[in-house]
């Protein structure tokens, strides 16, 4: 059976996250699977690179599925783009080898977080707000401390998937673009709400509300779940997945 | 009575345009006036630099009003930002001379239109879509033809305000920014839906559906209303007003 990869972009504002939910709760996975099943006339289960939280966006989510249908992937993609709500789209599709799995074949996930100092009517949908100035140099310093392998359990919501809480961060840092502060991070894996925890804690430190040493100390882990105030979901984007 | 100027930013997606309407139709002016009247305990009428259409956004709308209230303008601004919906905000306020009028004192309005070649889940809210490639050099050429004083009646919806249909365009052109095509235009005044007409006609010409000479010929005017297919509202921003 052909194995098809889709690149997926979505505005997560009005979805209860990526993952399919029962009882009519509207999720991105649920929407795409429903439309795909209608197009292909068979039940489709998507594998996905990242399980984004409620309200989180994606610029480069990756999914795959197998189908008995003889339809070309580009035809499937076209039908999807016609039938999906405008808040979800499929910029590209491709036929991939049988052993490609959007989740397990991924080598690295990249996320970005966009933050602005004051609320904005035009940018609010796609940013978080730091509510005032923050110590940008300090946040840069903290993000360089994230690189390497750490136990991120204190920056994440508890989620017992049995894979532990060690993640290896290859790259993490802030840059500014026209008044917007942008945090980028690349790691082999991410725990639940982890980027929001990392960013929320940094913003607290940047406002002087959290001791920087305490922040870095939490990278030692310990369990017990989120110890920082997570940043709001609207500023976060699953940016890119490397295979 | 103090005369107060507010700079206003809004996401126009869910508003029936700027101008106050009867029968519970939700407009940006209606929302701000309702909140202001509540804060100041008197009926407030706003004068505004630009009367944007349904679905059009503003980065730099300017309004003013007089009030009997002794409240400082910065306090009024703060209260507004607390009480207004998140799709409208007031980035700044100032006390202005008695003769300042947001509409009549304005020397120039600047608009921008953002267009992308393919639909996008993340950018759709703030862009129009050209649905395929367009001849960018041709659109540049057409926009240089807009400069000067012309009768824009064939690029506008009819609206009899008695001021004729001549507008003086100081600047008009396209640039590209990361895959987005951006049109900017500055003029002393704009007729109803005029920027959407100008851009819609250029996109038609850029796709080869409208003869460029016919486009430029329409700058001679003639009346009878919009002769081109206007671009969708979502890509348009009232960008800045000069006084």
Q: Let me know if A211 is a catalytic residue.
A: no
Averaged pLDDT of chain B: 96
Pairing status of strand A180-187 against strand A166-177: antiparallel
Mean pLDDT of B170-185: 96
- Consecutive H or E run containing A181: strand A180-187
Taking the C-alpha atoms of residue B69 and residue B102, their distance in angstroms, rounded to an integer, is 20
Residue B110 CA to residue B238 CA, distance in Å, equals 6
pLDDT band at A159 (very low <50, low <70, confident <90, very high): confident
- In A, minimum Cα distance to B84 occurs at A121
The hierarchical CATH code for the domain B3-96 is: 3.30.70.580
CB atoms within 10 A of CB A116: 18
Q: Provide the token pair at A196.
A: 């929001």
Between A188-192, B176-180, B211-215, B220-224, the lowest mean confidence (pLDDT) is in B220-224
Closest Cβ opposite residue A10 in set B89, B91, B121: B121
For residue B104, give how far its alpha carbon lies from the nearest alpha carbon of chain A (Å): 26
Chain B positions contacting chain A at CB under 8 Å are 9-11, 57, 59, 81, 86-89, 91, 118-122, 124-126
Q: Within 10 A of A139 (CB to CB), how many other CB atoms are there?
A: 24
Q: What is the pLDDT of residue A201?
A: 98
Q: With 80 as the cut, is the pLDDT of residue A182 above it?
A: yes
Residues A125 and A143: their CA atoms lie apart, in Å, by 25
Chain B hits for A88, CB-CB cut-off 8 Å, are 121
**Residues 6+ away with beta carbon under 8 Å from B63:** B5, B6, B8, B32, B46, B47, B48, B49, B102
For A87-165, strand residue ranges (E) read: 88-96, 108-116, 128-129, 148-151
Contacts of A57 in chain B (CB under 8 A): 122
Bind-site residues of A for substrate = 111
Domain ranges of chain B: 3-96, 108-242
The reported pLDDT for the residue numbered B161 is 72
pLDDT at B231: 97
Instruction: List pLDDT tens digits, range B149-166.
Output: 999 999 999 876 778 899
Partner residue opposite B122 with nearest CB, options A59, A120, A122? A59
Q: What are the pLDDT digits (tens) for A9-59? A: 999 999 999 999 999 999 999 999 999 999 999 999 999 999 999 999 999
Task: Report pLDDT for A222.
Answer: 84
Pairing of strands A236-242, A57-66: parallel
Tens digit of each residue's pLDDT (9 = 90 or more) over B20-67: 999 999 999 999 999 999 999 999 999 999 999 999 999 999 999 999
Verify whether the Cβ–Cβ distance A125 to B81 is below 8 Å.
Answer: no
Task: Flag if A124 and B86 touch (Cβ within 8 Å).
Answer: yes
Whether A91 shows a pLDDT value over 90: the answer reads yes
Q: Which residues fall within 8 angstroms of residue A152, CB to CB, at 6 or more apart?
A: A165, A166, A167, A191, A194, A197, A198, A219, A221
What is the separation of C-alpha B41 from the centre of its chain, rounded to a whole number of angstroms? 30
pLDDT of B224 over the 90 cut: no
Interface ipTM:
0.88
pLDDT of residue B206: 97
Q: What is the dihedral of CA A115, A119, A122, A128, to 10 degrees?
A: 30
Q: What phi, psi does A176 have (nearest 5°)?
A: -110, 140
- For A122, the closest chain B residue by CA position comes to B11
Query: Which tens digits make up the pLDDT trace of A201-222?
Result: 999 999 999 999 999 999 998 8
Confirm if A20 and A33 have CB atoms less than 8 A apart. yes
B59: nearest CB among A122, A125, A126: A122
Does A126 contact B121 at a Cβ distance shorter than 8 Å?
no
Do the domains B3-96 and B108-242 sit in the same CATH topology, yes or no?
Answer: yes
Q: What is the pLDDT of residues B67-92, one digit of tens each?
A: 999 999 999 999 999 999 999 999 99
Q: Inspect the interface and report whether the beta carbons of B57 and A9 lie closer than 8 Å.
A: no
Position A214 scores a pLDDT of 97
Helical spans, DSSP H, in chain A: 28-40, 73-83, 136-144, 194-206, 212-217
Q: How many residues are there in chain A? A: 243
3-state DSSP assignment of residue A193? coil
**In the CATH scheme, what architecture does the domain B108-242 have?**
2-Layer Sandwich (3.30)
Question: What is the 8-class DSSP label of residue A228?
Answer: S
């Amino acid at each position: 059976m052909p194995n098809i990869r889709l690149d997926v972009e979505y505005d997560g504002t009005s979805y209860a996250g990526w993952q399919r939910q029962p009882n009519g709760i509207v999720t991105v996975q649920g929407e795409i699977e429903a439309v795909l099943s209608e197009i292909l006339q068979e039940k489709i289960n998507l594998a996905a690179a990242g399980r984004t939280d409620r309200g989180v966006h994606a610029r480069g989510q990756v999914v795959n599925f197998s189908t008995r249908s003889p339809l070309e992937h580009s035809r499937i993609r076209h039908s999807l783009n016609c039938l999906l709500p405008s808040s979800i789209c499929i910029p590209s599709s491709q036929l991939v080898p049988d052993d490609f799995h959007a989740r397990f074949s991924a080598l690295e996930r990249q996320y970005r977080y966009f933050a602005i100092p004051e609320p904005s009517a035009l940018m609010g949908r796609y940013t978080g707000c730091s509510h005032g100035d923050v110590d940008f140099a300090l946040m840069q310093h903290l993000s360089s401390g994230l690189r390497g392998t750490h136990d991120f359990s204190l920056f994440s919501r508890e989620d017992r998937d049995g894979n532990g809480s060690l993640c290896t961060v290859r790259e993490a840092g802030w840059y500014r673009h026209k008044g917007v502060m942008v945090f980028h991070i690349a790691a082999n894996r991410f725990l639940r709400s982890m980027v929001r925890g990392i960013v929320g804690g940094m913003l607290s430190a940047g406002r002087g509300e959290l001791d920087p040493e305490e922040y870095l100390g939490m990278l030692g882990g310990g369990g017990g779940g989120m110890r920082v105030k997570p940043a709001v979901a609207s500023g976060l984007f699953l940016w890119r997945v490397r295979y």
